[in-house]
Amino acid sequence: AQRVTQPEKLLSVFKGAPVELKCNYSYSGSPELFWYVQYSRQRLQLLLRHISRESIKGFTADLNKGETSFHLKKPFAQEEDSAMYYCALTHNNDMRFGAGTRLTVKP
């Protein structure tokens, strides 16, 4: 069965520090993986997807099929990055979310 695991519920870093939000998945096929972000009092919005290999707001994520991971990284965290981050996997027109990690970037 497909499953997405985000081991950290809470992550706190200081402004300017590197940040890595972990995501592991279990899925037998070739997954489509995403990171969604939810800022305070806003809707879920796409941050990035593995297929486009892009960098959004300084964030990157690399799909590692060997480790079944899709960790989200940013070299220098900003206060405005404080939000809930959800890793998600889609297959056959459904989407499975991880439990989410609340990132707090302290000044």
Partner 1 sequence: EPEVTQTPSHQVTQMGQEVILRCVPISNHLYFYWYRQILGQKVEFLVSFYNNEISEKSEIFDDQFSVERPDGSNFTLKIRSTKLEDSAMYFCASRWQGDLAYEQYFGPGTRLTVT
94 binds partner 1 (CB under 8 A): yes
- CA–CA dist 11, 58 (Å, integer): 18
Residue 68 CB, nearest approach to partner 1 (Å)? 18
100 binds partner 1 (CB under 8 A): yes
Residue 50 CB, nearest approach to partner 1 (Å)? 8
53 binds partner 1 (CB under 8 A): no
Contact (CB, 8 A) for 25 and 3: yes
Strand-pairing partners, residue 6, are none
Contact (CB, 8 A) for 82 and 69: no
Contact (CB, 8 A) for 8 and 97: no
Choice from 25, 37, 77, 98 touching partner 1 (CB under 8 A): 98
27 binds partner 1 (CB under 8 A): no
Element (H, E) at 94: strand 94-97
Residues 74-93 that bind partner 1 (CB under 8 A): 86, 90-93
Choice from 20, 22, 24, 32 touching partner 1 (CB under 8 A): 32
**Tokens in use for 34?**
């995403």
Nearer to partner 1, 17 or 44 (CB): 44
